[in-house]
Amino acid sequence: MRYALLIYGDESSGDASPHGMTAMAEEYRAYEDWLAERGVRRGGEALWPTDRATTIRVRDEGATTVDGPFSDTREQFVGFYLLECEHLDDALEAARACPGSRHGSVEVRPVVDLSTFEGGT
């Protein structure tokens, strides 16, 4: 089964100094090596901060575009990994090992395989 690890963190609490960014990058490189050793990583990316986001909502009256995130929250969606794991417990172990779980939170969510539905892609 595929699982998405959705990483949430407080963008304003991070250490934006070169040392802080280097230390965080090293943590994530080690984590990605750990995922590779287990053969479960299928993808993943970090996201630019929410001040670079654009949110679009489409309703009956048309589309609304807003710069930045749609809502103010303490934690923002900052990155993700896509894993292929045999069991949920394996995905949960990977989430616990993710550096983001120590600084924010990591949501583990099963990915729907649309090809199993009639007419799926």
pLDDT value of residue 14? 62
Look at the chain and report how many structural domains it folds into.
Answer: 1
* Residue 15 scores a pLDDT above 70: no
First-to-last alpha carbon distance for the chain, in angstroms, is 17
Alpha carbon distance 90, 102 (integer Å): 18
Radius of gyration for the alpha carbons in the chain, expressed in angstroms and rounded: 17
In a domain? residue 30:
yes
Domain with 35 in it: 2-114
pLDDT value of residue 70? 59
* pTM score: 0.83
In a domain? residue 99:
yes
In a domain? residue 46:
yes
CA 112 to chain centroid, in Å, comes to 16
Residues 87-100 have a mean pLDDT of: 96
With H, G, I as helix, E, B as strand and everything else as coil, classify residue 49.
Answer: coil
Alpha carbon distance 69, 86 (integer Å): 34
Report which of residues 91 and 56 the model is more confident about: 91
* Residue 17 scores a pLDDT above 60: no
* Residue 27 scores a pLDDT above 90: yes
CATH number assigned to the domain comprising residue 22: 3.30.70.1060
Place of tokens 């949430």: 8
* Residue 33 scores a pLDDT above 90: yes
